[in-house]
């Protein structure tokens, strides 16, 4: 298994008390973990890239654990998640797709078997590119109160031969969620959807 | 607490390699940012003492958050900086009132020392405006390896009636410093300069 060359990491936690409405009894917390890695396929078309997904697994686990630690160390507080990637200009969108499996399964493993698909997005971009990482409930994708997104990015990444990888986790619904739909308390939790 | 805080975000950046060269140990810097209501927004207020008091509160809160995020005792911090961005209905002087008269003393209390001036920047801007927080060594401003800056932004702040206030703390200088000047092992630490 090839070692992943990590240039830098960013961890950030947002703690939201209100957004003009009543101050929440428990603030919503949203955490991001970013890693900037060298893209081994930058600059040329490479047909066989799938093996890199296995190489990324340890980094995925490290980032998922970083998020849980940043949120206080108890995985049970996590209710929403998402993932994303920004591929530098000498890479290909498909290189960002390599993050789906290691990023998603790492979070599921750390959270103890979350059922819902991990919402994701990706793009090719230069240093400073911002990515709106979508967020959904970890056990039921249709829980409307947990539809959210976090904007991530780093001023100096990704360089042309790099990929910026992102994992995000949240501890609850939007701070003033009130547009109806399936509630977290109504989850059946069988199919990952409802 | 006088400050009406809408959200707090804490960022930790860790640089492990630069130009392919290993940074050992990795350089780390943290920024804690509070988004607060600007009590003076939308009108000319002559007496800004309320904002000064808010600055004092945030100096302690944000420095504690930043140091905690780095996982170091305050005395191990090496450089620091502060910055504020005022929403469009506020005045640059509001940022000055938060940052300059009272914010510094609690920062220094948390860090144990801090003989040097805390470098600062301020601006007025809209949502998502980037704050470049200047960084300098906390005990000797002339330590050249620690001249630096950290960019932070929050996509939904500052709103028109808000102020974003940031304190940054590091446990290191730039990743691969090699432009000479005073080094940290030469610090006398008496006058805050050398």
Architecture of domain A6-186: 2-Layer Sandwich (3.30)
Q: Is A12 on the interface with B (CB under 8 A)?
A: yes
**Which residue in chain A has the smallest CA separation from B9?**
A14
| Residues A35, B156: Cα–Cα separation, whole Å | 23
Tokens of residue A70, six digits: 């940043």
Q: State the pLDDT at residue B190.
A: 84
Q: Is B72 within a domain? A: yes
Q: Is B192 within a domain? A: no
Cβ–Cβ of B16/A8 closer than 8 Å? Answer: yes
Domain range for residue B128? 5-186
**Which residue in chain A has the smallest CA separation from B26?**
A8
Tokens of residue B51, six digits: 């904002």
Cβ–Cβ of A10/B11 closer than 8 Å? Answer: yes
Q: Is B12 within a domain? A: yes
Picking from B15, B22, B27, B162 by the largest number of A CB atoms within 10 A of its own CB, the best residue to mutate is: B15
Q: What is the pLDDT of residues B84-95, one digit of tens each?
A: 999 999 999 999
Q: Which of A10, A17, A19 sits opposite B12 (nearest CB)?
A: A10
Q: State the pLDDT at residue A4.
A: 93
- The complex's ipTM works out to 0.81
| Residues B57, B187: Cα–Cα separation, whole Å | 30
Domain boundaries, chain A: 6-186
Q: State the pLDDT at residue B132.
A: 93
Mean pLDDT over each residue of chain B, to the nearest integer: 95
Q: Is B78 within a domain? A: yes
Q: What is the CATH number of the domain that holds B59?
A: 3.30.1330.110
Q: Which residues of chain B have pLDDT under 70?
A: none
Q: Is B160 within a domain? A: yes
Picking from A10, A15, A71 by the largest number of B CB atoms within 10 A of its own CB, the best residue to mutate is: A15
Q: Is B124 within a domain? A: yes
Q: Which residues of chain A have pLDDT under 50?
A: none
Q: Is A17 on the interface with B (CB under 8 A)?
A: yes
Q: Is B194 within a domain? A: no
Going by C-alpha positions, the residue among B31, B37, B25, B38 that lies closest to residue B13 is: B31
| Residues A149, A135: Cα–Cα separation, whole Å | 5
Q: Work out how many domains chain B is built from and give that number.
A: 1
Q: What is the pLDDT of residues B49-60, one digit of tens each?
A: 999 999 999 999
Q: Is B29 within a domain? A: yes
Picking from A3, A8, A132 by the largest number of B CB atoms within 10 A of its own CB, the best residue to mutate is: A8
């Amino acid at each position: 298994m090839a070692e992943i060359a990590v240039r830098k990491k960013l961890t950030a936690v947002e703690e939201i008390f209100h957004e003009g409405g009543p101050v929440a009894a428990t603030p919503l917390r949203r955490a991001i973990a970013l890693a900037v890695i060298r893209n081994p396929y930058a600059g040329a078309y490479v047909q066989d890239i799938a093996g890199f997904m296995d190489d990324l697994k340890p980094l995925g686990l490290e980032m998922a654990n970083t998020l849980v630690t940043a949120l206080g160390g108890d995985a049970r507080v996590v209710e929403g998640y998402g993932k994303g990637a920004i591929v530098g200009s000498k890479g290909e969108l498909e290189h960002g797709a390599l993050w789906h499996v290691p990023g998603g399964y790492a979070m599921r493993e750390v959270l103890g078997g979350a059922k819902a698909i991990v919402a994701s997005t990706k793009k090719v971009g230069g240093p400073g590119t911002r990515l709106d990482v979508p967020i959904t409930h970890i056990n039921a994708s249709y829980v409307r109160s947990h539809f959210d997104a976090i904007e991530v990015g780093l001023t100096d990444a990704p360089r042309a031969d790099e990929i910026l990888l992102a994992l995000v986790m949240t501890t609850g619904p939007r701070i003033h969620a009130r547009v109806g739909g399936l509630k977290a308390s109504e989850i059946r939790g069988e199919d990952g959807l409802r | 607490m006088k400050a009406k805080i809408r959200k707090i975000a804490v960022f930790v950046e860790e640089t492990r390699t630069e130009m392919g060269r290993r940074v050992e140990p990795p350089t780390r810097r943290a920024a804690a940012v509070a988004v607060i209501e600007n009590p003076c927004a939308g009108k000319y207020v002559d007496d800004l003492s309320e904002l000064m008091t808010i600055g004092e509160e945030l100096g302690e809160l944000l420095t504690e958050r930043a140091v905690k995020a780095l996982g170091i005792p305050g005395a191990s911090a090496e450089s620091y900086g502060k910055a504020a961005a005022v929403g469009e209905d506020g005045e640059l002087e509001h940022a000055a009132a938060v940052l300059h008269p009272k914010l510094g003393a609690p920062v220094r209390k948390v860090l144990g020392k801090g003989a040097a001036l805390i470098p600062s920047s301020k601006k007025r801007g809209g949502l998502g405006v980037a704050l470049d927080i200047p960084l300098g060594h906390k005990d000797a401003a002339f330590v050249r390896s620690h001249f630096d800056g950290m960019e932070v932004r929050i996509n939904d702040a500052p709103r028109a009636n808000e102020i974003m206030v940031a304190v940054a703390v590091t446990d290191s200088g730039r990743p691969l410093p090699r432009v000479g000047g005073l080094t940290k092992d030469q610090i006398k630490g008496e006058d805050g300069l050398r």
